[in-house]
Amino acid sequence: MKQLLDELEKMNLGKIDREVSLDKYTTYRVGGVANAIIYPKNIECLKKLLQILKERNILFKVIGFGSNLLFSSKRFDGIIIRLDCFDYLEFLPSNKLRVGAGYSLMKLSNLVAKHGLTGLEFASGIPGTVGGAIYMNAGAYKSDMGYIAQTVTVLTPDLRVIKLENKEMNFHYRSSFLQTHPGFICLEVVLRLAKGKREAIEEVIRDRRKRRMESQPLEFPSAGSVFRNPEGMFAGQLIESLGLKGYSIGGAKVSEKHANFIINYHHATSEDIRNLILYVKEKVREKYQVELKVEQEFVNWE
């Protein structure tokens, strides 16, 4: 691996950080050590990097801000790729904008509000990248990325750059084409917003920030909602009804503020968090015959 990383550094494809502890790159603040994180400078560098990794059968994982990932404590014997350099933003005619996959979703939401553009208020409290939000079809307050994404530019597994229209992205509740087609990587997106009044948009964002502070355990590391809401139900209500608020395994705890949040409240391990997620899931199944679907992606658990 050292030889490969030395070769990649000479090729100047982007910054390389070696022997990286993933607890610094996930919002749960847990995870093992990865051989390296590489930050490709542009699409061509990304394509070249992926070509080399695939030719040599090297494990890799593209991540955003790690806000929906649970890495195990084991070593990730491969390469993590982050698209931080894909953080460009261009305002287009007709209230549209072109934005890179590495751009912060929260930053984008607040910036377009200042330009009097409405449609992204729901995203003002989602701590991910634009690419991660497209992958997850992130949403809140009865809206999500599927409502505003016009086109998504992706890199295919055979390293072609193609553009997918909204309907081709197959957006549904917390899901998208990218989740069901491994190997496709979001590069950029064109969003279609609408003109609004800056003061009104910013007031909505302030109000929702206040509501989040009151109802969510933002003072602890977490990954937001753990489970998707079953149709016609709320996962948090099901969990709370079982008396599981405050239930803990190791350093992981079901939040006492919001039952659909699991927090790292005291030096939790990845295993603590995963075991607690599975415990809650099993208890809900036993009581209600409801199969809760985990929003977070478990990585490197095989």
Render pLDDT for 10-33 as a digit per residue (tens, 0 to 9): 999 999 999 999 999 999 999 999
pLDDT digit string, tens, across residues 245-264: 999 999 999 999 999 999 99
Q: Could you tell me the pLDDT band of residue 171, with boundaries at 50, 70 and 90? A: very high
Q: Give yes or no for a contact between 77 and 59, defined as CB atoms under 8 angstroms apart.
A: yes
Which residue type sits at 248? S
Report the predicted TM-score, pTM, of the whole model to 2 decimal places. Answer: 0.93
Q: Give yes or no for a contact between 249 and 277, defined as CB atoms under 8 angstroms apart.
A: no
pLDDT digit string, tens, across residues 266-283: 999 999 999 999 999 999
Spot the catalytic one: 176, 222, 225, 255.
225
Element (H, E) at 196: none
- Cβ contacts of 8 within 8 Å, gap of 6 or more: 16, 38, 49, 52
192 is catalytic: no
Report domain extents, the chain: 2-82, 89-201, 217-299
Q: Does the domain at residues 89-201 carry the CATH identifier 2.30.110.10?
A: no
165 is catalytic: no
Spot the catalytic one: 98, 174, 208, 212.
174
Q: Give yes or no for a contact between 280 and 263, defined as CB atoms under 8 angstroms apart.
A: no
275: helix, strand or coil: helix
Q: Could you tell me the pLDDT band of residue 160, with boundaries at 50, 70 and 90? A: very high
Element (H, E) at 113: helix 105-114
> What is the CATH code for 217-299?
3.90.78.10
255 is catalytic: no
Distance CA 27, CA 66 (A): 6
Indicate the fold that domain 2-82 takes in CATH.
Answer: 3.30.43
Spot the catalytic one: 67, 82, 188, 295.
295
